[in-house]
Structure 1
Amino acid sequence: MSPSKVYYTDFHATLEENLLQKLARLVRAAGMEQIDFKNKFTAIKIHFGEPGNLAYLRPNYAKVIADIVKEQGGRVFLTDCNTLYIGRRKNALDHLDAAYENGYNPFATGCQVIIGDGLKGTDEQLVPIDGEYVKEAKIGRGVMDADILISLTHFKVHECTGIGGALKNIGMGCGSRAGKMEMHSAGKPYVETEQCISCGACRKNCAHDAISFVEKKACIDHDKCVGCGRCIGVCPVDAVQPAQDEAFDVLNKKISEYTLAVIGDKPSFHISLVADVSPYCDCHAENDMPIVPDVGMFASFDPVALDTACADMVNAQQPLPDSLLDKVPHTGDYFTDIHPTTNWRSGVEHAEKLGLGSCAYELVKI
């Protein structure tokens, strides 16, 4: 496969051009306007940031992209799907509150926010794919209803996948709660009995009669359970938990297969900002100091080349003094230095095999 073009610019600004204007110039140079946006529903997939975390992307960047889409006649919205874990983004109401709190609202971005998998994370579309691990991806219906997808990603380190790039933003981010469970888990959900309040919501919403009550505590029969994850979504006290026992390399590959389900049949474009490169995901309600200096803004039609280029550019930087990276031995790959059990290349290499793009790239600086 021939190298894909990845367009790049640094974070230097001038009196004539600020960073937001520079981002607009970057995506135009990379060809985003080649997409036919006229009257098309366009989803900008973004991570709104868990409140308390300050490393997430400023909403100003999203407004730049939304404005360009609107200039081209597109009907644009910002989106993400609900989280699997306990936090401020596990249902649409809390998720919207968190997004607004972090500045992602129509007044700041010029477009609406839609939570892609509905109120409780169960509004999903089953997307057949011929993956090695996934045969039917569970994607938020709001995402699949969009005609075009643009990923706007805060590139960072991740404790499970090595990198948090475009593939993870799309694949994991667009999965419904059941989809996220499928990616994270090799098994079925279980019940933390100490937390169970015997409300019966899980049993009421189980279509496979897999949930019973023993001594007034819910119990899941794994022989009947199909892993749909609805019990996780409806539990009011988060007593139902995913196993989260999948190997990290398999997790990365499942994310790539979910990415294929999202963008396989629709136009897409991908933007990553390598700034505030934190050692953990923006899903944390806190963030550690960056591990390297801010690198730049990147854009491409190829999410595989984009992730590879961003990772290579981070690895080319000097660690920031007193950062987490500065405190661990270096092997040449900062991501595995910080999280030794991860292998980010397993994800991009699998995505390349799926035809999502190329790990080979040509970096074009503007």
Structure 2
Amino acid sequence: MEKSKVYFTDFHVTAKENLQQKLSRLIRTAGISQIDFEKKYAAIKIHFGEPGNLAYLRPNFAKTVVDIVTELGGKPFLTDCNTLYVGGRKNALDHLGSAYVNGFSPFSTGCHVLIGDGLKGTDEVLVPVECGEYVKEAKIGHAIMDADILVSLTHFKGHELTGFGGALKNIGMGCGSRAGKMEMHSSGKPHVSQKRCVGCGMCTKICAHSAITVTEKKASIDHGKCVGCGRCIGICPMDAILPASDESNEILNKKVAEYTWAVLHERPHFHISMVIDVSPFCDCHSENDVPIVPNVGMFASFDPVALDAACADAVNRQPVMMGSLLEKSVHEHHDHFTDVSPNTDWKVAIDHAVKLGLGSKEYELITI
């Protein structure tokens, strides 16, 4: 397979060009204008950051991307889907509030924010994955599948389950509805926390398979009838219904790649990764630790697989940041991500994505 082009620039600036202008030049040089945006809806997939975490991308970077898409005639919107875990982004109202608190508003970014899977994380489209080894129908946020074009703007950082969080993780996991996220994280079905459950019966009303019953003001799920759709998780007002979270990291990585395929298949897409504030864990944490390496730069490509490979290689070439978790780790893997999270293997997702035809891990790095 021919090497994919990945464009790169560092964070050094001059009096004539600030970081936003440099990002704009990178994106244009990488060829975003090759996409026909005219009067088309463009979903810009981003992570708004869990409240309390300060490592997420600044909204200024999002505005740069929005301005280019708008200039090219597109109708951009910033988007993400609700989280599976309980936190500041588990439903659309909380999610929007968290986005606004972290600076992502129409006034700061130049476009609206839409939560891809709706109010309770149940607004989804079932997308067939013909080439899927583990996923046969991906559950993707409805608003994201309604878009004509997908642009990913990724904060590249470490991750405790996938090794790192790059473009594949941002798209695959991030565009999954709550049920989709459960499918990626779990090989089983949800269960009820009896301590939290108040027996309100909301879950019984939304279950299409009569798998949930309430006895003595406590719900229980019959796993023989449950199909694992996850809608009960979204509807529960007490956060009493929980996923199993028992999938192996290897299979989780492969499912993320298959969900990415579902999102990108048969529509134009473009990808940007910012290797800055490379925290050891996901921006879903309500805190962030010292970056594990110095800031590297900005990358852009039409190929999300090559982009992730280039970013990973660039991080692994960096010196260890003093005082970080990486410095305190046992350095026996010769890989920064695996040294921080030894039970992960980030290469699994990339190799599986190549197998699915999502892109190439062989790339030509073009520095501007």
TM-score, normalised to structure 1, is 0.99
Aligned to 1:4: 4
Aligned to 1:294: 295
Q: State the SS of the aligned residue for 2:5.
A: strand
Q: Please, what is the CA RMSD of the aligned residues? A: 0.5
Matched, 1:338 2:337: no
Aligned equivalent of 2:365, options 346, 363, 366: 363
Aligned to 1:95: 95
* Distance of 1:213 and 1:56 partners within structure 2: 41
Matched residue type, 2:367: K
Describe how 1:189-200 pairs up with structure 2 within 5 A: 189-200=190-201
Matched residue type, 1:38: E
* Distance of 1:36 and 1:75 partners within structure 2: 12
Contact 2:306 2:360 in 1 (8 A): yes
Aligned to 2:312: 311
Matched, 1:181 2:182: yes
1:2 deviates by 1.4
* Distance of 2:309 and 2:330 partners within structure 1: 22
Q: State the SS of the aligned residue for 2:320.
A: coil
Matched, 1:273 2:274: yes
1:3 deviates by 1.0
Matched, 1:283 2:306: no
Matched residue type, 2:8: Y
* Distance of 1:156 and 1:233 partners within structure 2: 28
* Distance of 1:149 and 1:344 partners within structure 2: 23
Q: Can you list the C-alpha shifts for 1:12-40, whole angstroms capped at 9, x where unaligned?
A: 01000000000000001100111000000
Structure 1 residues not aligned, in runs of 5+: none
Matched residue type, 1:272: S
Q: State the SS of the aligned residue for 1:79.
A: strand
Contact 2:200 2:217 in 1 (8 A): no
Aligned to 1:157: 158
Count residues in correspondence. Answer: 366
Q: Can you list the C-alpha shifts for 1:89-108, whole angstroms capped at 9, x where unaligned?
A: 00000000000000000000
* Distance of 1:183 and 1:214 partners within structure 2: 30
* Distance of 2:71 and 2:96 partners within structure 1: 26
1:215 deviates by 2.9
Describe how 1:1-366 pairs up with structure 2 within 5 A: 1-130=1-130, 131-330=132-331, 331-366=333-368
* Distance of 1:5 and 1:186 partners within structure 2: 36
1:265 deviates by 1.3
* Distance of 1:63 and 1:213 partners within structure 2: 48
* Distance of 1:7 and 1:39 partners within structure 2: 27
After superposing on structure 2, the runs of 4+ consecutive aligned residues of structure 1 that deviate more than 6 Å are none
Q: State the SS of the aligned residue for 1:172.
A: helix
* Distance of 1:77 and 1:327 partners within structure 2: 40
Matched residue type, 2:155: H
1:51 deviates by 0.8
1:214 deviates by 3.0
* Distance of 1:308 and 1:157 partners within structure 2: 14
Quote the sequence identity (%): 69
Structure 2 residues not aligned, in runs of 5+: none
* Distance of 1:217 and 1:265 partners within structure 2: 45
